[in-house]
Amino acid sequence: MKEGSLTNWRYKTYRAVWGALDLLFPPDCAGCGKKGTRWCGDCRSRTIVLNGLLCEVCGLPQKRSGLCEACANERPPFRSLRAWTVFGEPVRSALHRLKYYKDQSLGDMLAAEMLPFTRELGWKIDMMTPVPLGKQRKRKRGYNQVAMIAIPLSLGMEWKYAPRALMRRKETRSQVGLTYEERRANMHCAFEAKRWVSGKSVLVMDDVSTTGSTLSAAAEALYQSGARDVYALTVARALPHHDLAAA
């Protein structure tokens, strides 16, 4: 990161705006409700960062290096997927508030928490794009919750933010409660990408990854439009069983 660069100045300004709003409207912790902070020290200490032995491609925690069984059998289209933390409390509550209760300040908070983790990945990225919402969900919610995280994270990482690199080709069902095969079918050909991603290294971001079906569909669309590399990043990873968090 280039200290003193325009992007660094923009990121500091972005953070300062939210900080000023916190002074005017004192927040409470998104994880536990403690007054006076958006993310308290207790919730920060309870957040399990996924940085141990991981599958080289999908980022699933495991007890050995290399590929997990699923990726060895069928490698996903993205080059690498990583999630900052496990999808559980207190992050689950923070994402829920951002997504359903219009607490857009939590996008800035989550991006700030993710920034050191994202820098450690060392990825060479030309542009960053959020998974786009369908028109119906966007109209109902009023904003894309993933974009609220991706914007400050791209500023902090000095990556070009390209929200229109991906578009929805069709409305899809919610992925919640669907099986792996149902998720894949639901997201099949769900996206299309702009031709100007050709030759670029693109990072696509979502809030939670479970089977990776959404991010795989996004990666396929980007590659079809000529992207050189596609990386995937999420705030959290839903693990198939709890003991993987300690793998």
CATH class for domain 6-246? alpha beta
- Can you tell me the distance from the alpha carbon of 22 to that of 35, in angstroms, rounded to the nearest whole number? 11
For 112, the 3-state DSSP assignment is helix
123-140: per-residue pLDDT in tens? Answer: 999 999 999 988 888 888
Average pLDDT estimate for 39-52: 95
Could you state, in order of their start, the residue ranges of all structural domains in the chain? 6-246
For residue 79, count CB atoms less than 10 angstroms from its CB and return exposed for 0-12, middle for 13-18, buried for 19 or more: middle
Average pLDDT estimate for 154-174: 87
Across all residues in the chain, what is the average pLDDT? 90
165-183: b or e for each residue (b if 16 or more CB lie within 10 Å)? Answer: bbebeeebeeeeebeeeeb
List the end-to-end C-alpha distance of the chain, in Å, as a whole number.
Answer: 31
For 134, the 3-state DSSP assignment is coil
Kindly indicate the confidence band of residue 183, based on its pLDDT and cuts at 50, 70 and 90: low
Average pLDDT estimate for 92-105: 95
Kindly indicate the confidence band of residue 211, based on its pLDDT and cuts at 50, 70 and 90: confident
**Cβ 188 vs Cβ 221: under 8 Å:** no
- Can you tell me the distance from the alpha carbon of 36 to that of 78, in angstroms, rounded to the nearest whole number? 40
pLDDT of residue 187: 66
Taking the CA of residue 210 as centre, how many other CA atoms within 13 Å lie in the half-sphere pointing to its CB?
13
pLDDT of residue 159: 96
Give the dihedral of Cα atoms 141, 144, 149, 154; nearest 10 deg. -160
**Cβ 15 vs Cβ 151: under 8 Å:** no
Question: Which neighbouring-strand residues pair with 35?
Answer: 28
